[in-house]
A and B are shown apart, each in its own frame.
Chain A
Amino acid sequence: MMMTRLRRVCIALASVVLLAAPALAIQPPTAQSEYVPANPGTATEQLPAAPLLIGAYVFAWLAAMVYLWTIWRRLNKVETDMRALEQKTRHSAR
């Protein structure tokens, strides 16, 4: 009787541990609330970060330049259309 009860308690405890383990395992790491500078001389890099850093900056520059170029192109088109329309209006007025 005692052994049976002990076995049930053991099974219940094992079940709780086995069910809780995956739930605890998928918890994301705690978010950083502030940045702390590294000690001088500490090895901080394992993978090269420079291409990612330069890539992000180059993309920002390129995106801004391309957008500015599209504005300039659209503005030129509007000005051309305006001139064409003004000429057409002048011709029809004669």
Chain B
Amino acid sequence: MRKAFVPLLAITAALFALAPILIANAPIESTMGLVQKIFYFHVPSWMAMYTAIAVCGIASARYLFGRNKAVDAFAVAGGEVAVLFGLMGLISGPLWGRKAWGVWWVWEPRLTSALLMELIFVAYLLVRKYGGPGSEKLAAATALFGTATAPFVYKSVDIWRVQHPKTTVVPLLLKGSMAGSELPFAVSAIAFVLLAAVLMAARVALAQRQAALDELYLASED
């Protein structure tokens, strides 16, 4: 993992440098205008968050049911990165909404459920940090609960009548509904998911070193 870290970081940085140029040259949407271009990093930030949630959820399930302590580093990395990218989505969304809807925030199903999902993962991190000895299982269960909410948040725009654009926007865009926007979106999406992978790899390394330090402390006490 360490060998792949630097090349992965370089590729991510290159894609992040390329993305604004492609986004600047992407076509302007008819009803929303320039602000629609926030979409090119708003949606990828949620894609990165869902990736991190999947890592956190799978690792937490393996920790909870398989008693595999080694995967705990992946769970905490996924949890932290999920909160980070969720925050990006929750900031870029209202910046778009201010122009598109005229308001920063609307208490409609998609926005409210996304905020609740973010809060569940913040709760996960708080339980891990301040829960004390034995709180690992509670934290893992909280992560599983948060992971279970993710599909509902994603499908909420199709289930309820909402102001938020529907999930069909992305597949139709990739099929060419707005010619010239596929490449900027693909590059941005790959950049965000790679960034999530890089950050998770760095956080896993930190968690493993912390675990090694804890073992050293225990050994020195003996």
Taking chain A's interface residues, is the majority helix, strand, or loop, or is none over half, making it mixed?
helix
Q: Report chain A residues within 8 Å CB of B29.
A: 35-38, 44
Q: Are A37 and B27 in contact (CB under 8 A)?
A: yes
Which of B28, B108, B169, B199 meets A44, CB within 8 Å? B28
- 1/0 per residue, CB under 8 A from B, across A47-60: the answer is 10110110111011
Taking chain B's interface residues, is the majority helix, strand, or loop, or is none over half, making it mixed?
helix
- Inter-chain contact total with CB atoms closer than 8 Å: 136
- 1/0 per residue, CB under 8 A from A, across B26-39: the answer is 01111111111110
Q: Are B199 and A28 in contact (CB under 8 A)?
A: no
Tell me, in angstroms, the Cα distance from A29 to B32 when the chains sit together.
14
Q: Report chain A residues within 8 Å CB of B96.
A: 52, 56
Tell me, in angstroms, the Cα distance from A24 to B180 when the chains sit together.
38
The segment from A6-14, A15-23, A80-88 that touches chain B is: A80-88
Q: Report chain A residues within 8 Å CB of B80.
A: 67
User: How many residues of B are counted as interface, with CB atoms below 8 angstroms from the partner's CB atoms?
Assistant: 58
| B148: Cβ under 8 A from any A Cβ | no
Q: Are A38 and B27 in contact (CB under 8 A)?
A: yes
Give the interface residue-count category, chain A. 35 or more
| B145: Cβ under 8 A from any A Cβ | no
Q: Are B84 and A52 in contact (CB under 8 A)?
A: no
Q: Report chain A residues within 8 Å CB of B45.
A: 60
Q: Are B205 and A75 in contact (CB under 8 A)?
A: yes
Tell me, in angstroms, the Cα distance from A45 to B33 when the chains sit together.
6
| Extra inter-chain contacts (18) besides given A35-B181, A63-B87, A88-B220, CB under 8 Å | A31-B157, A34-B169, A35-B29, A35-B169, A35-B172, A38-B30, A44-B28, A45-B34, A47-B99, A49-B34, A49-B99, A52-B99, A53-B35, A53-B37, A68-B202, A75-B206, A78-B213, A82-B213
- What residues of chain B have their CB less than 8 Å away from a CB belonging to chain A? 16, 20, 27-38, 41-42, 45, 80-81, 84, 87-88, 91-92, 95-96, 98-99, 108, 157, 161-166, 168-169, 172-173, 177-181, 195, 199, 202-203, 205-206, 209-210, 212-213, 216-217, 220
